[in-house]
Amino acid sequence: MEVKNICCIGAGYVGGPTMTMIAAKCPSIRVNVVDINEARIAAWNDPNVDNIPIYEPGLSELVAETRGRNLFFTTEVNKAITEADMIFISVNTPTKTYGVGKGMAADLKYIELCARQIASVAKSDKIIVEKSTLPVRTAEALRSILDNTGNGVNFDILSNPEFLAEGTAVSDLLNPDRVLIGGEDTERGRAAQQALVDVYSNWVPKDQILTTNVWSSELSKLTANAFLAQRVSSINALSELCEVTEADIGEVARAIGSDSRIGSKFLKASVGFGGSCFQKDILNLVYIAQSYGLKEVADYWEQVIIMNDHQKRRFAKKIVKTLFNTVSGKKIAILGWAFKKDTNDTRESAAIYVADYLLNEQAEVVIYDPKVTVDQIYSDLDYLGTRSSQENRNLLKVVNDPMEAVNNAHATAILTEWDEFIDYDWETINDKMLKPAFLFDGRRILDENKLKDLGFDFYGIGKG
């Protein structure tokens, strides 16, 4: 089957960049990205491509190249479904906040709504591609909905999980380590699998396109994120040990990372991992293990989350302890609110939880981030529900100038590793801050010795 028209339901961090790359590399395929959020679609269609809703290096240039040619952003969901040969489902699958599985299981209500809408609208055979991160055997539920509520058309379901790292999404899409496509081991299933292989083959070498059964594909995504998060929590656990034994976690990481069996990636101690995937996927894995009565398996993976939460609290407590056990009425500047550099995504960012802890200690917190909006920062704090919306706005200030953030601050904490922070005139910043000037490098991006020479009282994670 030759795919000529693709519809992607969901114009978020996965759907938008992925479909843009497909449109760029497959000019003969029309790609419609649909979403019921009118404001989001309007932002994707903004004449100034710098205003698209997702910041990723290189993405705005790709959108400018393809938008209006064979890439379209629209709220006409039913029309796009009707015309499509292949439909990607790329909607949010947050952790449940209610009912059975609350706090762990994935909330699949948006997936189900998509399936029911596709089933009611489709008048011709469709290939359905799971792009959202989903629990193993979700395709089974999709199959049941599509086959029992549809119009008698054939649906073939594929699993095609994304392995993008925010901040490098465009390069990850352009040169992926692998593309994983899970399908059913039937004649129709293999044909559907091949149709998606043919799409990616326009730019991805075929030996990097892996095909599996649907269940293996679904579980592989959760497993990949769990393994990466486990490495972060492991090095962070050792960072605390380094601090009490006068070892240096950077030197330890370099030593063990030189072992070819271990490797050097994801061994950088920090204030903790964030983002939309790691915590959500591990909690999902824990819930699945518990559901099958695998207590020891569930306990093992849950410890990764426990360690990550501990690291955030430990960092915030260190700030309070260093500032003579009180931050009440003291100005604390936080540089960085996004969960990592080169993205405006703030989901589960460590900065949110560190700021929340400091606000509970009655600190005056001032935030600077080069890409995150004021509204998003306040929304993140409001979502925690620790204080009222008005209290958050009274207690926390967001500024557009890092020098304004650090002016007369008792301490500055770096919570995202934006490159611009490395290049700052730290001598001037030290002069602007109150004395003693405390600097907390939660991402280990600065030259500790240089900053100590400038007169900072410096704290970097993992060094005694």
Q: Residue 391 annotated as binding?
A: no
What distance lies between CA 21 and its chain's CA centroid? 19
Query: Is-contact 254 330, C-beta < 8 A?
Result: no
Q: Are 346 and 337 in contact (CB under 8 A)?
A: yes
| Annotated binding-site residue? 270 | yes
Annotated ligand binding at 322? The verdict is: no
Identify whether the C-beta of residue 69 lies closer than 8 Å to the C-beta of residue 26.
no
The annotation status of 277 as a binding-site residue, yes or no, is: yes
Task: Flag whether 12 is marked binding.
Answer: yes
Q: Is 14 annotated as a binding residue?
A: yes
Annotated binding-site residue? 66 = no
Would you say 40 is a known binding-site residue? yes
Q: What is the DSSP letter of 440?
A: E
Q: Which amino acid is at 190?
A: R
- Tell whether 35 is in a known binding site: yes
271 known ligand binder: yes
Report residue 167 as tokens: 């901040």
Other beta carbons within 10 angstroms of residue 8's beta carbon come to 28
Environment class of 324 (CB within 10 Å of its CB; exposed 0-12, middle 13-18, buried 19+): exposed
Q: Tell me whether residue 133 is annotated as binding.
A: yes
Cα gap 219→254, rounded to integer Å: 31
101 labeled part of a ligand binding site:
no
First and final CA of the chain: distance in angstroms? Answer: 61
Integer Cα distance of 384 and 401 in angstroms: 26
Q: What does the alpha-carbon distance between residue 21 and residue 148 come to, in Å, rounded to a whole number?
A: 34
The reply, when asked if residue 5 is annotated as ligand binding, is no
- Residue 168, marked binder: no
Residue 307 Cα distances to 229, 232, 233, 271, 310, angstroms: 10, 9, 6, 11, 5
212 assigned ligand-binding residue: no
CA pair distance 464, 460, nearest whole angstrom: 9
**How far is Cα 383 from Cα 380, in angstroms, rounded to an integer?**
5
Residues designated as active site: 277
SS3 content of the chain, % helix, strand, coil (to 5): 45, 15, 40
Tell how far CA 346 is from the center of its chain: 8
Residue 385: phi and psi, rounded to 5, are: 75, 15
Residue 154 marked in a binding site: no
Q: Binding site annotation covers 112?
A: no
- Choose among 173, 181, 206: nearest CA to 62: 173
163 is in an annotated binding site: yes
**Residue 364 labeled ligand binder:** no
Give the sign of the dihedral formed by CA 104, CA 107, CA 111, CA 115: positive
| 339 annotated as ligand-binding | yes
Q: 450 labelled as ligand-binding?
A: no
The answer to whether 48 is annotated as binding is no
Pull the structure tokens for residue 190: 């293999």
The rounded distance, in Å, linking the Cα atoms of 211 and 195 is: 12
Distances (CA, A) of 155 to 16, 199, 210, 416: 24, 18, 22, 43
| Residues 155/213, Cβ–Cβ less than 8 Å | no
268 annotated to a ligand binding site: yes
90 annotated binding-site participant:
no
DSSP-derived secondary structure letter, 162: -
93 is in an annotated binding site: yes
Which residues define the annotated binding site for NAD(+)? 10-15, 35, 40, 91-95, 132-133, 166, 277-280, 347
Which residues define the annotated binding site? 10-15, 35, 40, 91-95, 132-133, 162-166, 221-225, 261, 268-274, 277-280, 339-340, 347, 443
Which residues define the annotated binding site for substrate? 162-166, 221-225, 261, 268-274, 339-340, 443
